A and B are shown apart, each in its own frame.
Chain A
Amino acid sequence: MKFYFSLIIVFILLKILRKNNLFFFYFILGSVSSFLIMLYFGGDEFEILLKHIISFFMYHLTLYIPRASVLEDYFLINISLKDGSAMSWIIDYECTGIVEMLVFYSLLLFYPIKDIFYKTKYFIMGTIYLITANILRMFVILFSVLKFGENIFYFSHVILARIVFFILVIILYYNVFTKKHVRQQLVGDLYDNK
C-alpha cells in the first residue's frame, strides 16, 4: 500500500517538474524512481528470466568447448581442469547483469531523446547487446580458467571480466546516449540542426 502511495506521489512530482521545464530534476527523479519500480515489480522474475536466457546460451555454446559444460536448470557451469580436478560456479544475480540492464532501461526512458522510435529500437538492441556482453564476460572467465587453472578464477571474475564488460557497456552508452546527444544538439540558427 505504502509503495503504491509513493508511486502516485512520484508520478505527481514528475508531472510538476515536467510542466515547469525543470528537466534536470525530472531526469534524476524519473530515472531513479523507474529503476526502483522495475526492481520492485519485476526484479526477481526478471532475474530468473535472465538466468534462464544466459544459461541457455551458455549451455549451447559450451557444447563445442571440451572440458566445460552447463547444467542449464541449475544455472551451474562445470569445468574439468587440466590436473583432473573440477570446479563449478553458479550464475548468480551478479552474473545476470540485472543492475546494469535496469539502469540502462531507466536512463533510456528518461534521457532527453524525443524520438520514441529510437528509444524503442535501442531498448531492444540494448537488451540483446547487454545479454551478449554478459555472455562474453562469462566466456572471459571460462577461457581464462581453462587456460590458466583454478587460481586465475578470482582475478578473472573480479577484475578482468569486469573490465571487459565495463568497456563493452561504455561503447553502448557512447553510441546510444553521447552520439545521439551530439547529433540532436541544437546550436544557433545558421546550422542544419536536423
Chain B
Amino acid sequence: MIINKTITILMYWISWLIIPLAIEFSTNLISGFFLIIKKIRYKTRNRKLDFYPLVSILIPVYNSESTLMQCLNSVASQNYPQNKMEVFLLNNQKTRGDSFKIFDTFKENNPNINIWWYDTSSGKAKALNLGILSSKGEYIINIDSDGWLDKNALKSLIIKFKSDSKISALTGVILIDPNYIKDTKNIFLKLLQKCESFEYLESFLIGRNFNSIFNSMYTLAGACSAFKRESLMQTQLYNFETVGEDTHMTFQIRDFTKGKILLAEETFFFVDPIESVDKLYAQRQRWQKGQMEVAKLFSKFHIGKFFDFFTKFPVRLLINDHTLVFPRLIWIFGMIFLYFKGYPTKILVFSNVFLYLMYVFISFFNFFIAYIYLEKQHITKKFLSKNVLIVFLLPIHRFINYWIRIAGIINSAYVNEKWDNISYKEEFKIFFNSIDKLYRKEFDKTIYKIKKEILDE
C-alpha cells in the first residue's frame, strides 16, 4: 500500500521523464538486439576487393597546421594502392600559413600520390564543391584535416560500397583519439573529453549503426563521409547557406538519388577531443541550428501530421530533439511546483537517483554493444575499458548537452548571419558588465542627488 502510494505520487511529475526514458530504454534494448544479430551476420560476408577504383580524397584546410601532417600520413599509409588515390587540399583560410609547407614536404616525400593544393577562402562548403568538381575519382571521400584515417579505412569503404549497389553515401565511424586525451592536464576537461569519447562511440556504433539497418540516417558525419560520384552529381552539391551542410547533403542524397545512406562500420576516423567547454557550447549550438535550418529547407521531411510520426523518421527525430525538450523542462518547473505544495524531499531525491541510474544502465548497455563493433581498434578498446566507470558521468554529460541544446534552439530563432555564436563566458561577461554599468549609473545618480542636496542646503 505504501509502495503503491509512493509510486502514485512519484508518477505525478516524473511521468514527463519516465515516458521519454521508457521510450529510450526500449529503443536501446531493441537496437542492441538488432545490432548483435547484424554483427553475427556480417562476419560471414566476403570482404575482399578484386578491383581498386580511383578514389578522390578531399581535405578542407583551415587552421590545421598542427594536425595536417598526421592526417596526410594516415592517407599515405592506407592499405590501398597509392596510384589509385588523388588528394585535394582545399585551403579556405585567407592565407596559406604553414599548411602549404606541410603540403610541399608531403608531396616531396610521397611522389606516388597525386596531391593538389587549391586556394578557395570562402568557407568549407564552397571549398568542398570546388574539390568535387575538380576531382575525377569514382568515389569521393571528405575528411577533416584535424583527424586521421585508420589504416584500413579506404579499403573498407570501397568494400562496403561494392557490397550493395544501392548505396549512395557512407559515413565512417568517428572516434576520439585517446592519445590526445592523455595530454590534457585540466581534470574537468579530461573528464569531459572522456565522456565525449563514450558519446561518439554511442552516437556512431549504436545510433547511426542502428539507423543504417532501416536506412534512416539523419546526418553523414562531415569529418569522414564518402560518396559515389554519380550520386553526388545528382545533387546541388554542398549548400553554403546553412551551418548544417552535412545534414543538408544527406537530405539531398536521400531526396535526389533515393539511394541508401549507411554507416561503414569498419571505417574508423580519429579526431581531437573538444578543447574547452566553450567550444562544446558553440559546437552543439551550431549542430542544433544546423538541424533547424535543414528542417526548414527540407520541410516536407520534417513537417507532418499525426501519422507521419510513424512513417517519417525526421519527424520522430525532430520531436525528440525539439518538441520533447520543452516538456522535459516541465520536470524542473514541476519540482518547483511540488516544493511549494510541500512535497516530500525524500521522494524527489529518490526519483532523481532512480532516473540517473536508469541512464547509467542505458549507457553501459550501449557501451557493451558498441564494444563488439570495435574489433581491431585495440588502443581505443583498451582506453574505453580502462575508463568504463565514465558511464556514471554520462547522464551528467547528457544533462549539460540538453541545456546547450535549448540554447541552440532559442538562439537559432534569432541569429541569421553565419554562425558567429559567442561563448558562454563572453555571455556572462556581457551580462555582468551590464549589471555593473546599471549599478554604477544608479550609484552616480544617488551621489549626484546627495551632492545637489548638500549644495542646495
Pair A16/B438 contact, Cβ less than 8 Å: yes
* With known contacts A22-B427, A25-B427, A112-B413, A182–B330 Cβ distance under 8 A: no
Residue of A at shortest CB range from B294?
A187
* Shortest distance from the beta carbon of A23 to any chain B beta carbon, whole Å: 5
Q: Is A27 an interface residue (CB 8 A)?
A: yes
Q: Is A120 an interface residue (CB 8 A)?
A: no
* Shortest distance from the beta carbon of A7 to any chain B beta carbon, whole Å: 16
Pair B7/A23 contact, Cβ less than 8 Å: no
Pair B303/A179 contact, Cβ less than 8 Å: yes
Q: Is A69 an interface residue (CB 8 A)?
A: no
Q: Is B26 an interface residue (CB 8 A)?
A: no
Pair A27/B434 contact, Cβ less than 8 Å: no
* Shortest distance from the beta carbon of B406 to any chain A beta carbon, whole Å: 7
Which DSSP category, helix, strand, loop or mixed, fits chain B's interface? helix
Residues of B within 8 A of A23 (CB): 410-411, 413-414
* Shortest distance from the beta carbon of A87 to any chain B beta carbon, whole Å: 16
Q: Is B267 an interface residue (CB 8 A)?
A: no
Q: Is B319 an interface residue (CB 8 A)?
A: yes
A106, A170, A181, A190: the one contacting B324 at CB < 8 Å is A170
Residue of B at shortest CB range from A175?
B323
B241, B318, B327, B412 interface centre (most CB from chain A within 10 Å) = B327
* With known contacts A22-B427, A177-B322, A179-B303, A187–B297 Cβ distance under 8 A: yes
Residues of A within 8 A of B306 (CB): 171
Which DSSP category, helix, strand, loop or mixed, fits chain A's interface? helix
Q: Is B431 an interface residue (CB 8 A)?
A: yes
* Shortest distance from the beta carbon of A153 to any chain B beta carbon, whole Å: 11
A102, A159, A166, A178: the one contacting B319 at CB < 8 Å is A178
Per-residue 0/1 for A17-36: is the Cβ within 8 Å of any B Cβ (1 yes, 0 no)? 10111111101100110011
Residue of A at shortest CB range from B306?
A171
Pair A99/B330 contact, Cβ less than 8 Å: yes
Pair A16/B4 contact, Cβ less than 8 Å: no
Residues of A within 8 A of B341 (CB): 93
Q: Is A107 an interface residue (CB 8 A)?
A: yes
Within B296-320, the residues touching A (CB, 8 Å) are 296-297, 299, 302-303, 306, 318-319
Q: Is A39 an interface residue (CB 8 A)?
A: yes
Q: Is B213 an interface residue (CB 8 A)?
A: no
Residues of A within 8 A of B293 (CB): 185, 187
* With known contacts A154-B8, A158-B7, A187-B297, A35–B322 Cβ distance under 8 A: no
Residues of A within 8 A of B388 (CB): none
What is the bound-complex CA distance between A154 and B409, given in angstroms?
38
* With known contacts A177-B326, A191-B297, A22–B431 Cβ distance under 8 A: yes
Residue of A at shortest CB range from B433?
A20
Residues of B within 8 A of A163 (CB): 19
A25, A102, A181, A184 interface centre (most CB from chain B within 10 Å) = A181
A20, A170, A179, A185 interface centre (most CB from chain B within 10 Å) = A185
Q: Is A169 an interface residue (CB 8 A)?
A: yes
Q: Is A189 an interface residue (CB 8 A)?
A: yes
Pair B434/A162 contact, Cβ less than 8 Å: no
* Shortest distance from the beta carbon of A48 to any chain B beta carbon, whole Å: 15
Q: Is A66 an interface residue (CB 8 A)?
A: no
Residue of B at shortest CB range from A189?
B241
* Shortest distance from the beta carbon of B188 to any chain A beta carbon, whole Å: 22
Q: Is A83 an interface residue (CB 8 A)?
A: no
Residue of A at shortest CB range from B299?
A182
Residues of A within 8 A of B435 (CB): 16
What is the bound-complex CA distance between A157 and B8, given in angstroms?
9
Residues of B within 8 A of A103 (CB): 329-330, 333-334
Per-residue 0/1 for B263-297: is the Cβ within 8 Å of any A Cβ (1 yes, 0 no)? 00000000000000000000000000000110111
Residues of A within 8 A of B302 (CB): 182
Known: A32-B332, A99-B330. 7 other contacts (CB 8 A): A20-B434, A24-B427, A35-B337, A154-B4, A154-B8, A166-B15, A190-B241
9 smallest beta-carbon distances between A and B, as pairs: A188-B241, A112-B413, A24-B407, A185-B296, A186-B416, A187-B293, A174-B323, A162-B15, A158-B11
Sample 6 A-B pairs with CB under 8 A, ordered by A number. A12-B438, A158-B7, A166-B327, A177-B322, A178-B319, A178-B322
